[in-house]
Structures are given as C-alpha cells and as structure tokens.
Amino acid sequence: MVAQSVQPWQWVLVDDGSTDGTRRILDQAAAQHSWIRVVAKEDRGFRKVGGGVIEAFDQGLAAVSGDYDFVAKVDADLEFTPDYFATILTYFEADPKLAAASGKVFRPEGERMVEEFMIDEMVAGQFKLYRREAFERIGGFVREVMWDGIDFHRARMEGYRTRSIRDDRLNIRHLRLMGSSDANVYRGRLRWGRGQWFMGSTFPYVLASGAFRMREKPYVVGGALIVGGFLLAAIQGAPRYPDLEFRRHLRRWQWRRLLGRGDNS
C-alpha cells in the first residue's frame, strides 16, 4: 500500500485479536506514515468467518474521519501492483454507474499462477473498492457468510454496475487457497454451500455451481461439499436472508445465468 502511486487518503488497519507480532508491525507502520491508523479489536477467542471479517471492517470504517469518495475493504494476505489504485480509479471515472470493482484474483501454485474463477459481475471479496455513494445506498456489508455476494446483487438492484476487471495492472495475488482460512478448505466449501442457502440461492443454481467447482481444488470433493452444505442447511431449516425482494431478484438473475442469459442489468 505504501508503494501505491495513488495512496489512500487514510488507511485503517484493524488488528482483530491477533496473538502474534502483528500489532507491533502495525504500530511501526503507523509511526512511519501519518495516513495509517491502527484499531485494535478485543480477541473474541475464536475465528468468526464471514461475519467476523465485516465486524472488523465496520470497526475500522467507524474510525475514519473526514470526507472521502471511495472506501476499500482489503485483506492482509494479498499482493498487488503499485499502480492498482491509479488504474482502477480510471474505470470509475469512465463509468459513473460503477458501484464497485476489483481486478481478477490469482494464487501461486508452484511456478505458475492459477486464476480463482469469478464471474465478471462479481467483485473480489478479498479487495473491494466501492464508490462511497453506492456503498451507503446498499447499507454496507451484511455480517454473514456470503456478504461478498449479497453486496454486489444489492448494488445491481439499486441500478449500479459491478465488475471484476481483466487488466494485468489489476491482477491480485492471493497467498492462500480461497476458503481455507478456517481449519481447512473442506470446511470452507461446506460453509460456501451454507452461505448460498442463507443468501437465498435456488438449488439448481447451487447444483450447477457445485458441478463447475469440481474442476477446482480440492477436485470433485470441493464442489460436492458446496452442494452438501446447501442441502444440510435446508434440512436443518437454517435462517435465510430476510429481504424477500432481494431473494426474488437473486433468483431471477440465477435463472438467467442458468439459461445462458447472464448480464449486468
């Protein structure tokens, strides 16, 4: 972030109950750069996937003072080019209806980089840059798993566009396998399916998504676990996102995708 050709006006680093040397590193960074601020959260004693990420983000956002036009949520396990912000801001300037955007995400596997598949309408959950007006219009992020799917659909409901952009200057290097932060990737895939249930997805869409994800690591098993997580949540009668209009909008969009009519409208 310090190497960016367009640096953030303010960067809030949230220490979400770390027990290693993180706080010392953050304090050193804040001492060297006046635009860096550190916020420490109390250790809750366990990892709260999904909702915990947004709790930390919200606490960091509450510490921001002054006026700003864009807000970004950035994970710690990423690398990106020094021109990332300078480049992506040109896309916002060119499209006043662009609510949120990111580059495409890649992870290292040996000597090669593997792209983490993401549809063009979705914005990478690891690095979301939002136009502030749009972010406030959708009510911010939901403190639940699948927050990073709910937000871009809400933006589309409000008449905005969202994009993950294929531009080499915007490539994001993700330093671990997506969904593997809590115990292991298998639990992550189950949680993915459970999140699809919460969001309000249709079973045919989840089934198709699970079949597609069988081509990714962990091969076959990962996609099956997504479907299994969805079905388990359904059998248990797990809660769903309470906004019925949102769920109807989501399902229409999913059926268009299944029928090969995907768009960003």
Q: What is the pLDDT along the chain (265 residues), one digit of tens a residue?
A: 999 999 999 999 999 888 888 999 999 999 999 999 999 987 766 566 668 899 999 999 999 988 999 999 999 999 999 999 999 999 999 999 999 999 999 999 888 999 999 999 999 999 999 999 999 999 999 999 899 999 999 999 999 999 999 999 999 999 976 654 555 889 999 999 999 999 999 999 999 999 999 999 899 999 999 999 999 999 999 999 999 999 999 999 999 999 987 654 3
The distance between the two most distant Cα atoms of the chain, rounded to a whole number of Å, is: 54
**Side-chain half-sphere exposure of 229, counting CA atoms within 13 A:** 26
Closest CA relative to residue 198, chosen from 153, 237, 154, 228: 237
Domain boundaries, the chain: 182-257
Alpha-carbon span 37 to 59, nearest angstrom: 12
SS3 83: coil
Q: Is the pTM of this model over 0.95?
A: no
Beta bridge partners of 164: 102
